[in-house]
Amino acid sequence: MKIDVLPVFGKQTDSQLQDTTVIVVDVLRATTSIISALNGGAVKVVPSVDAGDAVALASRLGMSECVLGGERGGVKIPGFELGNSPKDYLSRTVRGKTVIVSTTNGTGALYSVRSADSVLLGSMINRTAAAKAAACNGNDILIVCAGTEGQPSADDLCTAGAVIDAVRNFADIRDGELSDMAIICESLYHSWREGRFDLSKTFHFARLCAMGFEDDVAFCFTPDTTDTVPTYKDGVIVRYE
């Protein structure tokens, strides 16, 4: 089983998406919030790259059936009910609803892999469950990181490494099957786990903390708190069964 990591979405080719299980990672915070929405009882999550399209979809479906969530630059989109704090999506607000989310990078990353055969959402909170689902699929794995505004983000790379580390519990990975980027990510994750790499100095992590989202960051970086694995198909995110 080959495993590769794209540090930032958008550079993948169509052939990389065929016969491959894609895992989209935006640990701070989109994929963590979407997992939380499903855990909070949302019927489904619809990612929308454009905030205006999200509002139009909510009007079409009926505002009482939907919850609008999302951020730009970390800040809640004006008029939306929720921002992008994962704990907000665990609340009663989303129960029985369709959650429509639009975020700066994460929803773009999802849209960019819409033609893939199989797309899962990964984060630190579901790293082992996501790894198990992908390994059991048997296909090669491509982890696509959202990054931050077109740049690689250490938080996503570390999480990609955490998923790869967990895949080893479910599949044999032979020499030569990890790309160089996959090896770098796994090594970064081990350094972080062993306290030798400090994420708090990295750009997106530090920016969210400076904005007062320390609790979100701590929540997002607590490994294996849930078995929920979302899957994205035909524009909609539901639980992977």
- Helix 203-210 to helix 154-167 angle (10° resolution) is 120
Provide the mask over 29-48, with x wherever binding to ligand MLT is found by CB under 6 A and - wherever it is not.
xx------------------
Q: Does 186 bind ligand MLT (CB under 6 A)?
A: no
Distance CA 77, CA 18 (A): 35
> Cβ(230)–Cβ(24) under 8 Å?
no
Tokens matching residue 63: 């505002």
Provide the mask over 188-217, with x wherever binding to ligand MLT is found by CB under 6 A and - wherever it is not.
--------------------x---------
Q: Does 26 bind ligand MLT (CB under 6 A)?
A: yes
Q: Does 88 bind ligand MLT (CB under 6 A)?
A: no
Alpha carbon of 123 to those of 108, 112, 175: distances in Å?
16, 18, 25
Q: Does 128 bind ligand MLT (CB under 6 A)?
A: no
* Backbone region of residue 24 per phi and psi (left: phi > 0; alpha: psi in -120 to 50; beta: other values): beta
142 closest CA partner among 231, 21, 18: 21
Q: Does 147 bind ligand MLT (CB under 6 A)?
A: no
Distance CA 126, CA 17 (A): 22
Distance CA 137, CA 125 (A): 20
Nearer to ligand MLT, 71 or 186 (CB): 71
Q: Does 112 bind ligand MLT (CB under 6 A)?
A: no
Q: Does 106 bind ligand MLT (CB under 6 A)?
A: yes
Q: Does 110 bind ligand MLT (CB under 6 A)?
A: no
| Smallest separation (angstroms) from ligand MLT to the CB of 137 | 25
Number of Cβ within 10 Å of residue 191's Cβ equals: 14
Nearer to ligand MLT, 167 or 208 (CB): 208
Q: Does 74 bind ligand MLT (CB under 6 A)?
A: yes
Q: Does 71 bind ligand MLT (CB under 6 A)?
A: yes
* Total number of residues that touch ligand MLT (CB under 6 A): 13
DSSP 8-state symbol, 16: G
- The binding site for ligand MLT (CB under 6 A) comprises 26, 28-30, 71, 74, 84, 103-106, 146, 208
